[in-house]
A and B are shown apart, each in its own frame.
Chain A
Amino acid sequence: MIFKRLAIGWPSLLSLLLVLAGGGITAGCATYTETSRSLQERLVAGEPEQALQILEKRAGGREDRVLYLLNKGMLLRLAGDFAASNQVLEEAKELIDRLVVISISEQTAALSVNDAKRSYIGDPYERILLHLYKTLNYLALADYVAARVEILQADLALGQLSEQERKLGAEGIMRYLSGLVFEQTGERSDALIAYRKAFAAYHSTGGVAAIPRSLQLDLLRLARRQGLDDEVRRYRDLFGVESLPDDRTRQGRGEVTVILGTGLAPVRQEQSINVLAGSNARWYRVATPFYPPRRAAPEVEIRVVANDEEVMAVLGEDLDNLARRALEAAMPGITGRALARLVVKGSAIREVEKNDQLLGIMANIAAVASERADTRSWVTLPARLHFARLYLPPGRYEIRVEWLGSGGRVLMSRVYQGVEVQPEGVVYIQDHWIGPWAVERG
């Protein structure tokens, strides 16, 4: 009887196996959303080491390897192990390099099972942030030569993005950081070029208002130093700067650069449409990813205080907003593939049904079960990145960073003691405050 049932010819059997295999693999495990949430919950609790353990347990398959490495790199960084973080992120980078090439088998799987069967290579902005975080790690390790290598690689990577991708490529903050590194290595003209590119990138996304105040002052400072009077005049008019930042106040002073992450990146969730239709009552399902609307997360401001000097940190990049815009831009492709899958799976089921009604129903169940949204994204990133630069006379300082809520209420305060400022030297303080409001439960 069974043999008779199975005597349905190779093509039909293969179709069935294909659909069943996909269903079998995906039906048991949910989408990536659950893993993302578990990681974020540990981070909110201030336990990056535990988050690492969860990540190791749920490393996923070969197609999730890059995402695993990205999250691991970020968690190691949060745990303070910058060297290990860079090792892991470098591995991710090399793997992405190999995986960006289109894979025939994965495309086939994406069109016959679901999008999550494709190797994760990250959105363009995530690939740029990979360079950004490697650079920050090298700065934390005081390896400025390697940081310089990394910003050159980021420049290459940005150059390979299309116009549209660049607008969603976190270019502003990457260029700004490149300028900081060039200043660190004493290459002022390269720094000015990087600041100009940062200016153009921020400007293209939100006009003059999107250009961080400190970048405006950096542009003015360096343009003046190079004797570019026309450029200085243009920036002064554009930014409405009355008195020029006096470079002489920097002489003999050292710098403290504070780079702060706040909150956590949003988590993609699945939305689906399930329809029972047709003369033979077949189930149809289309699943796509979405970001739930941002909860009322307080718009924080950050104040950095050193003795009697204080400065407000500027917003370098709103990664939460960037993630949402990137998904929005990718939606036509995602929906197109989902609809194509509907056709492919439908044909496969019809093929099976022709020979056996029961197997047809099984194939239908498998096809519906395997239709899952690709909810993978780099969720250990912060929601926002802030920068602050302070120029201080040489000495030993206690630097206080305060996250301010509405009405200037201090939500969180962290103190960094014994910060040694050398003449003409730069000290980097990097931190990430996740805050209590981060994890969204759908």
Chain B
Amino acid sequence: MIRTIFYHTGLLLAVLLIAACSTKVERIEPDQVRDLSGNWNDTDSRLVSEEMVQDLLAQPWLGQHIRTQGGQPAVIVGEIRNLSHEHINMRTFVADIQRALINSGRVDFVASRDERDEIREERRDQDLHAREDTRKAMGRELGADYMLQGTINTIIDVEGRQQVRYYQVDLTLISLADNRIVWIGQKKIKKFVTRPGVRS
């Protein structure tokens, strides 16, 4: 009995030593879904932003704005707060939303506060150094009509090796002229994650 145990232990250790030696890298397409830990990942960021922007553009506020103002609205992305259990990279999420909105071609998009500061700095520099016919004047920026704000919330329920991870992304579009909320979007993601019972 003891002999057999030691024999198998030895074999197991040998196999483990060999198996632990190599790193494998495989290239995959950015849109290919590959869930590892169950955490918020690139696929969630992309799917949520695409679906929410689709919904945003399908609602009546857009038509109403064009009718009353006679042109397409200018939108700015404000703060999207991470109220979740995870350190989510909000920059990629905001970038995904911006990309989906700009590429729709149905709204104008205004640079964020940080980006604006850098551009204004460049204009100030142009004032001093650029040729007159290429110089861009101050005070001719496009003011935004609406600001997009939001939150990401999570509810996580854990029992032993199993957990349910629930994400809720809420976005609101607010009119800068009169604080009217013109659109509220919500997207929910639910994941069921089972962790392994043993490792090597």
Contacts and interface: CB of A to CB of B under 8 A. Distances in A.
B96 to A, nearest CB: 19
Interface stretch (A103-111, A257-265, A285-293, A326-334): A103-111
A102 B6 contact: no
Nearest to B37: A97
Contact of B9 (A10, A18, A101): A18
| Max chain B C-beta neighbours (<10 A), residue from A11, A98, A102 | A11
B85 A105 contact: no
Given A11-B3, A98-B199, A145-B82, A105 B12 contact: yes
Given A101-B198, A102-B199, A149 B87 contact: yes
A348 B195 contact: no
A86 B86 CA distance: 14
Nearest to A350: B2
A17 B198 CA distance: 26
Nearest to A155: B85
A101 B198 CA distance: 5
B13 interface: yes
A152 B195 CA distance: 20
B23 to A, nearest CB: 14
Interface in A1-45: 10-11, 14-15, 17-18
A82 to B, nearest CB: 15
B180 to A, nearest CB: 24
B199 A145 contact: no
A146 interface: yes
B137 interface: no
B197 A101 contact: yes
B10 interface: yes
Contacts of B199: 98-99, 101-104
A101 B195 contact: yes
Interface string B189-200: 000000111111
A109 B86 CA distance: 35
Contact of A104 (B83, B84, B158, B200): B200
Contact of B198 (A10, A103, A109): A103
A14 B10 contact: yes
Contacts, number: 69
Q: SS class of chain B's interface: helix, strand, loop or mixed? A: mixed
A90 interface: yes
Given A11-B7, A104-B12, A152 B198 contact: no
Given A101-B196, A351-B2, A145 B9 contact: no
A296 interface: no
Contacts of A102: 197-199
Contacts of A160: 158
A156 B197 contact: no
B16 interface: yes
Contacts of B195: 101
A417 B156 CA distance: 43
Interface string B78-98: 000111111100000000000
Nearest to B200: A105
A18 B82 CA distance: 51
Contacts of A348: 2, 6
A18 B10 contact: yes
Given A10-B7, A11-B3, A102-B197, A156 B85 contact: yes
Interface in A345-383: 347-348, 351
A347 B158 CA distance: 42
Interface string B154-194: 10101000000000000000000000000000000000000
Contacts of A148: 83
Interface in B119-148: none
A17 B16 contact: no
A53 interface: no
Contact of B85 (A103, A104, A149): A149
A159 interface: yes
15 contacts: A10-B7, A11-B3, A14-B9, A18-B10, A98-B199, A101-B197, A103-B200, A104-B198, A104-B199, A108-B13, A149-B82, A149-B84, A149-B85, A156-B156, A351-B6
Interface of A: 10-11, 14-15, 17-18, 90, 97-99, 101-105, 108-109, 112, 145-146, 148-149, 152-153, 156, 159-160, 347-348, 351
Given A103-B199, A351-B6, 8 more contacts: A17-B10, A98-B199, A103-B200, A104-B198, A145-B81, A149-B82, A156-B85, A348-B2
